[in-house]
Amino acid sequence: MGNRMFVKICGITRPADAIAVIDAGADAIGLNFVPTSLRYIDLDVARTILSVVPDHFMTVGVFRDQSAEEVLEITSALGLDAAQLHGDEPPAFTAAVADGVETVIKAVAAESPSIDALSDHAADIVMLDAPNPGGGVPFDWRVVGDLVSKHKILLAGGLRPDNIAEAIRQVKPWGVDVASGVEVRPAQKDPEAIARFVAEARSRQPTQS
């Protein structure tokens, strides 16, 4: 992908929203399997969504404090490309999931002490999220510091079409992730906002080859 900004739209709950994400030119969708989440979907809904997603498009299952067996069962049953782990999973858990899933994304709150232990995790990508995931409020981007030189950082937390350019300018992440920032109401995406978000993110590409 070179210097192309990776863009993931998370919390997809309807096939129409997945199509909007694909049409906008993003790279990945997130399907939320956390039962307490507003954007939770079951396997049947997930299959309906996945039926409109082309093979080359990255599909990510989102989990929080579920068993490794459940994570692997769901990702395998649906043929997902990646598992995103949002809980307090220890490194051994991440390693167990990594054995059965092509890509593991480990999510941590930006100012949490667990950032210091990131290198112990078998994570391909590190998501830096706000302390209240899905709350739509950005964290102080200055706290990221040199983490972007140590990990593939997927920046999340309160990103929107109108602040994504500044977020990328400040943080210089590998990729960006949005859920509530492109919704008309919880769990329902706005195709126009998705298109604007992707366009804004891609317009901030690094200029070096």
Report the residue count for the chain. Answer: 209
CA distance 200 to 181: 13
Whole-number Å distance between alpha carbons of 29 and 17: 10
Which two tokens mark 11?
């919390």
Is the separation of the CB atoms in 18 and 115 below 8 Å?
no
41 vs 4, 13, 142, 161, CA distance in Å?
A: 30, 6, 34, 25
Q: Is 10 a catalytic residue?
A: yes
Spot the catalytic one: 17, 27, 129, 177: 129
Residue tagged active-site, from 10, 17, 27, 177: 10
User: CB–CB of 103/134 below 8 Å?
Assistant: no
> Partners of 177 in the beta sheet?
8
Residue 129 bears catalytic tag? yes
Strands 103-109 and 188-189: unpaired
Catalytic center residues: 10, 129
